[in-house]
Amino acid sequence: MKESMTYQKILADGMAEGRAEGIALGRTKGERLLFLKFATRRLGEPDERTLSIIQAATAEQIGAWMEAILTIENWSELIPT
């Protein structure tokens, strides 16, 4: 069974999917950490609610926040309550 081409194809596809998912998760985590570093320097420490929203954000949301960080003055402008 393990020698069959179908089995090998399924295994390779699964490994490729897992690798791609891991890369995406790692990228998002890195972007989140970088965003928090710069945003905290500019705006101060975020409160717990804001931090939990940031931790749950998608890569696209983090990217939008990175663009906005230079034009805002506080966390509530970035993440309204």
Number of structural domains, the chain?
Answer: 1
Sorted by sequence, the CB contacts under 8 Å of residue 24 that are 6+ apart come out as 59
Is 53 in a helix, a strand, or coil? helix
DSSP letter at 70 equals G
pLDDT tens, residue order, the chain (81 aa): 667 787 777 767 777 777 767 776 677 888 999 999 999 999 999 999 999 999 999 999 999 999 999 899 999 998 876
Residue 15 is part of which domain span?
5-78
Instruction: Return d(Cα 49, Cα 27) in angstroms, integer.
Output: 23
Give the residue among 59, 17, 51 at the shortest CA–CA distance from 78: 51
pLDDT of residue 81: 66
Quote the pTM value: 0.70
Which position has the token pair 């081409």?
Answer: 5
